[in-house]
Chains A and B, each alone.
Chain A
Amino acid sequence: MNMVNAINNALDIKLAEDDRVIVYGEDVGVEGGVFRVTEGLQKKYGAERVFDSPLAESGIAGTAVGMAVAGLKPVIEMQFSGFANPAFNQVVSHVSRMRNRSRGKYSTGMVIRMPYGGGINALEHHSESLEAIWAHIPGLKVVIPSTPHDAKGLLISAIESDDPIWFMEPKRIYRAIKQEVETEKFTVPIGKAKVIQEGTDVTIVAYGAMIREVQKASVLAKKEGISVEIIDLRTIYPIDKETIVDSVKKTGRIITVHEAIRTFGVGAEINASITEEAFLYLEAPPKRVTGFDIIVPLPKNEPHFMVTPEKIFYEIVRTVKF
């Protein structure tokens, strides 16, 4: 399965076993989504459970709040992460706060799915990585898978969660990675990172489409005799500090890699945590390889912006030789 198939499979499983699950968004019904993630689901489950909404992201998120407090399980799609912004008010004012405001009486367990990220020669507003903005909202959990397997397991966990989950899908690798994924139901826990490659010299924390770039960088590093440990964060919030801290205690060095802009990003948070909790284990300053603090350029200049294996390797060398 590729990631598109895996997410479709997860939705299929939950639609089949839980009649509270409702899937909607722009073009998700008849067409099955612009990336075909929901293809076939309307045919299988009917237009009452899988349908095209009016083109209004704030309305999609706001109605999902109503559905959730009334007992349904909305799984809504934002067509592109860059188009989710009209929903910001609903998400920051209601989706993330309902439990707290009602003192636990109402919850807004829902999943807000969307493709995100650059590197596909897209138009404006189609390439952003805004996870840090969403992770900054108390009450919201933010999940980003990097493999078809994890996408399926995390999405099922997300749908079963009583908390609202902001589920970001790295569209650059929607179809790029294929792996054996069992068609039966399984879950991957939210809030748990995974060490996907063990190493001794430097820890690299990444997620989403960046994992593949980090793996390529680690091959370059290996040729120089540098051993890289790679952690796939998988959940941005709540962040799995324990896995990261344990790794840094072993390697003494850390680099966080994300394609989102640098300042006030996930890398800043991770490096702050490491400074707080593993300071005496550090042999070099915690570093970041990230996008620049600019609007993602249009395709002709986007390659400058994107994090590449070479950029990561450059920072690995500098960190190890510090």
Chain B
Amino acid sequence: MIFKEYDPIKKKMFQVIDNDGKVINPKYMPEISDELVLKAYKDMLFARTSDLMILSYQRQGRIFTYPPNYGQEAISGAVAQIMRKEDWLVPAFREMGTYLAKGASLKEIFLYFMGYEDGVNFKNAENFLPYSVPIASQLPHAVGIGYEIKYKKKDQIVFTFVGDGGTSEGDFHEALNFAGVWNAPVIFIVQNNQYGISTPFKFQTASEGIAIKSYAYGIKGIQVDGNDFFAMYKAVKESHESARRGEGPVLIEAITYRRGPHTTSDDPTKYRLNEEEEAWAEKDPLKRLKAWLIDRELYDEETEQKLIEDYKKEIDRQFIEAENYGPVPIEDIFKYTYADMPEDLKQQMVEYQKFLQWKEARGL
């Protein structure tokens, strides 16, 4: 059991492969088919290629502020292979791989960051809440869903995400506490990417890590190398099985690094050094998994270049579709505010339409 051996009190981070993709912890190498590993790698590569494309679209002024996943892809990449259709996903905003796995289209992701609410409607995805921008505020929702799952005796698990900065918010602690008391089937994944915008982890907490905080709430916890796909897969898989057995919530601290900016509005050169970024580049999740795949002769550079070319075409196709989404009816900005639009609000909408007619008539 990894939870015993990697009890947070022992201050041991769970790892399976090293920076070169060599298995250093064979005892805990997950049972996973080569096909699934390859699929996971491709998912991660797709997310990374999308992020890089989005950065260039953003620079061209074709999309607004966007939070890239660059460097953190193994976390979502692992969850994506385990999360089932019936499981819930309660996201933060930096887990692209899980959104796509849940059934969101890249086009929808684009739409949201182009400024359309429709982008978080996720037409083909079930049990998937919209992104949560107010930090950590989504975590108690995951626990409430967990309560419903227990109450209705369903075979479902809730996945929810937060960053290291978010663990300072009261909602993080309240959610863990509720989850512990209710023994709710929730997997909390903290993407500890070392920075909350510009603020380094050491200013968020005097604690040596986040996983250890599970102790205070009486729940399972584990610190995992979040850039190690196999370790993440194993930890998420065991958490999922344990929660399905009714053994309650798990707090997974995934140690990673946000290689890009917080969002496209952020400039990391203001607050961190090149040397640090280079050191983390050595631990890059795609680099490590690719080395493992190549070593097993499951993959090669040529395949990668071909995949990237195909992905770029697909990403661009979906981006252009999103760009051509067109205007949405004015009524759309009013009608979802209440189940039934109050008379007063209806009046505001009617008045606005009158104004638009007047404006047109006046040639303004």
Do B337 and A83 touch (CB < 8 A)? no
Q: Mark B192-224, 1 if CB is under 8 A from A, else 0.
A: 000011110001110000000000000000000
Q: How far is the CA of A297 from the CA of B332 in the complex (A)?
A: 10
Checking A55, A121, A304, A311 against B64 with a beta-carbon cut-off of 8 angstroms, the contacting residue is A121
Top-4 shortest CB links A-B: A299-B115, A31-B198, A54-B168, A300-B115
Interface residues of B in 337-364 (CB under 8 A from A): 337, 342, 344-345, 348-349, 352, 355, 358-359, 364
Residues in chain B within 8 A of chain A (CB atoms) = 64-65, 112, 114-117, 131, 133-135, 137, 165-166, 168-171, 196-199, 203-205, 265-266, 270-271, 327-328, 330, 332-334, 337, 342, 344-345, 348-349, 352, 355, 358-359, 364
Q: A300-B115, A300-B328 are in contact. Are A52 and B199 (CB under 8 A)?
A: yes
Is A58 interfacial (CB 8 A cutoff)?
yes
Q: A54-B205, A82-B134 are in contact. Are A30 and B198 (CB under 8 A)?
A: yes
Interface residues of A in 290-322 (CB under 8 A from B): 292-295, 297-302, 304-305, 310-311, 313-314
Q: How far is the CA of A27 from the CA of B352 in the complex (A)?
A: 40
Do B333 and A55 touch (CB < 8 A)? no
Q: Which residue of B lies closest to A262 (CB)?
A: B348
Do A292 and B197 touch (CB < 8 A)? no
Do B115 and A304 touch (CB < 8 A)? no
Chain A nearest CB from B43 CB (Å) reads: 25
Chain A nearest CB from B65 CB (Å) reads: 6
Residues on B with beta carbons closer than 8 Å to the beta carbon of A82 = 134
Residues on B with beta carbons closer than 8 Å to the beta carbon of A310 = 355, 359, 364
Is A34 interfacial (CB 8 A cutoff)?
yes
Q: How far is the CA of A34 from the CA of B131 in the complex (A)?
A: 21
Q: A31-B198, A300-B115 are in contact. Are A56 and B169 (CB under 8 A)?
A: yes
Do A314 and B359 touch (CB < 8 A)? yes
Q: Which residue of A lies closest to B272 (CB)?
A: A30
Q: Which of A122-130, A165-173, A176-184, A192-200 lies at the interface? A: A122-130
Do A295 and B337 touch (CB < 8 A)? yes
Residue pairs across A and B with Cβ atoms less than 8 A apart, 20 shown, are A26-B196, A30-B198, A30-B199, A54-B204, A55-B204, A59-B168, A59-B170, A82-B134, A86-B169, A123-B133, A124-B133, A262-B348, A292-B349, A293-B344, A294-B334, A299-B64, A299-B114, A300-B115, A301-B332, A310-B359
Checking A52, A53, A124, A305 against B333 with a beta-carbon cut-off of 8 angstroms, the contacting residue is A305
Do B171 and A86 touch (CB < 8 A)? yes
Residues on B with beta carbons closer than 8 Å to the beta carbon of A63 = none
Q: A55-B169, A262-B348, A304-B333 are in contact. Are A85 and B328 (CB under 8 A)?
A: no
Q: A52-B198, A86-B169, A124-B133 are in contact. Are A31 and B271 (CB under 8 A)?
A: yes
Do A30 and B270 touch (CB < 8 A)? yes
Interface secondary structure of A, over-half rule: loop
Chain B nearest CB from A33 CB (Å) reads: 9
Do B334 and A300 touch (CB < 8 A)? no
Q: Which residue of B lies closest to A54 (CB)?
A: B168
Q: Mark A218-235, 1 if CB is under 8 A from B, else 0.
A: 001000000000000000
Q: How far is the CA of A293 from the CA of B352 in the complex (A)?
A: 12
Residues on B with beta carbons closer than 8 Å to the beta carbon of A294 = 333-334, 337, 345
Checking A263, A299, A304 against B352 with a beta-carbon cut-off of 8 angstroms, the contacting residue is A304
Q: How far is the CA of A69 from the CA of B348 in the complex (A)?
A: 45
Q: How far is the CA of A59 from the CA of B166 in the complex (A)?
A: 13
Q: How far is the CA of A262 from the CA of B352 in the complex (A)?
A: 13
Q: How far is the CA of A67 from the CA of B169 in the complex (A)?
A: 20
Q: Mark A59-83, 1 if CB is under 8 A from B, else 0.
A: 1000000000000000000000011
Do A314 and B199 touch (CB < 8 A)? no
Do A292 and B199 touch (CB < 8 A)? no
Do B358 and A314 touch (CB < 8 A)? yes
Chain A nearest CB from B343 CB (Å) reads: 11
Do B198 and A293 touch (CB < 8 A)? no
Chain B nearest CB from A30 CB (Å) reads: 5
Do B330 and A304 touch (CB < 8 A)? yes
B165, B265, B333 pick with most chain A CB within 10 angstroms: B333
Residues on A with beta carbons closer than 8 Å to the beta carbon of B115 = 121, 298-302
Do B344 and A55 touch (CB < 8 A)? no
Do B333 and A86 touch (CB < 8 A)? no
Given A30-B270, A31-B198, A301-B333, 18 other A-B residues pairs in contact with their CB atoms under 8 A: A26-B197, A27-B197, A34-B197, A34-B265, A55-B135, A56-B168, A56-B170, A59-B168, A121-B64, A123-B133, A292-B334, A292-B349, A294-B333, A298-B117, A301-B115, A301-B116, A304-B352, A310-B359
Do B334 and A55 touch (CB < 8 A)? no
Residues on B with beta carbons closer than 8 Å to the beta carbon of A86 = 134, 137, 169-171
Do A55 and B134 touch (CB < 8 A)? no
Q: Mark A249-271, 1 if CB is under 8 A from B, else 0.
A: 00000000000001100000000
Q: A55-B166, A55-B168, A122-B65 are in contact. Are A83 and B135 (CB under 8 A)?
A: yes
Q: How far is the CA of A294 from the CA of B135 in the complex (A)?
A: 22
Chain A nearest CB from B171 CB (Å) reads: 7
Chain A nearest CB from B40 CB (Å) reads: 29
Do A54 and B133 touch (CB < 8 A)? no
Residues on A with beta carbons closer than 8 Å to the beta carbon of B358 = 314
Residues on A with beta carbons closer than 8 Å to the beta carbon of B271 = 30-31
Q: How far is the CA of A122 from the CA of B332 in the complex (A)?
A: 19
Q: How far is the CA of A287 from the CA of B220 in the complex (A)?
A: 59
Residues on B with beta carbons closer than 8 Å to the beta carbon of A83 = 134-135
Q: A30-B270, A86-B169, A311-B355 are in contact. Are A123 and B64 (CB under 8 A)?
A: yes
Chain A nearest CB from B60 CB (Å) reads: 15
Do A31 and B169 touch (CB < 8 A)? no
Q: How far is the CA of A311 from the CA of B364 in the complex (A)?
A: 10
Residues on B with beta carbons closer than 8 Å to the beta carbon of A52 = 198-199, 203
Do A300 and B116 touch (CB < 8 A)? yes
